[in-house]
Amino acid sequence: MTDSPNLKDSVSIQPIGRSDRSDIQKLLIREWGSVQLVTRGKIHLADELPGFIARIREELAGFLTYRIEGSKCEIVSLNSFVENVGVGSELLEVVRVTAKRNNCVRIWLITTNDNTPALRFYQKRGYRISAVYPNAIANSRKMKPEIPIHGLDSILIRDEIELEMILTDK
């Protein structure tokens, strides 16, 4: 699929359905090395979490998985396979609405220190860095050895960075 500005109007978002689970599982393995994702010392089976799938003209363009615990919604994974047409932004908006409907006051997520594109992406959409956990990835690798040593731009993956959006009535 090629990037095209006119695709923006073609993005459709639906909850991940039972028939999507096999595709999500394959994509998680391809993109994350496993269906197991680790955030803040907790293993998540991302292929079993609720989420949303984005399609452009019936073709899978991205997906997001999340979990709600109490009044907080954690984005566990977000992948967009088509850049600059609003797939990631649309997925974030749908999870924001879902979190508010579930009386959440906060949406949060974890990324790693090497993932500068994610840091830019989330901050441009209103998320702020709320915590940095130095050397947290060493513990995560004990639970998920597939986590590589080096990430984007050959940066050593060491730290977890927490971003959040506080949900208000505005």
Q: What is the pLDDT of residues 44-75, one digit of tens each?
A: 999 999 999 999 988 999 999 999 999 999 99
Maximum separation of any 2 CA atoms in the chain, in Å: 44
- What is the C-alpha to C-alpha distance for residues 68 and 74, in angstroms, rounded to an integer? 6
Question: Which one of 3.40.50.1220, 3.40.630.30, 3.10.450.710, 3.40.710.10 gives the CATH number of domain 10-166?
Answer: 3.40.630.30
Residue in 78, 69, 75 with CA at minimum distance from that of residue 103: 69
Is the per-residue pLDDT at 158 higher than 90? yes
Check residue 1 and give its pLDDT. 47
Check residue 3 and give its pLDDT. 47
Is the per-residue pLDDT at 126 higher than 50? yes
Q: What residues does each domain of the chain span?
A: 10-166
Q: What is the percent of the chain where pLDDT is above 90?
A: 78
Check residue 9 and give its pLDDT. 65
Is the per-residue pLDDT at 169 higher than 70? no
- What is the C-alpha to C-alpha distance for residues 163 and 55, in angstroms, rounded to an integer? 26
What element of type H or E holds 120?
Answer: helix 116-124
Strands (E), 27-145: 36-39, 42-45, 51-56, 59-69, 72-80, 106-112, 128-133
Does this model's pTM top 0.75? My answer is yes
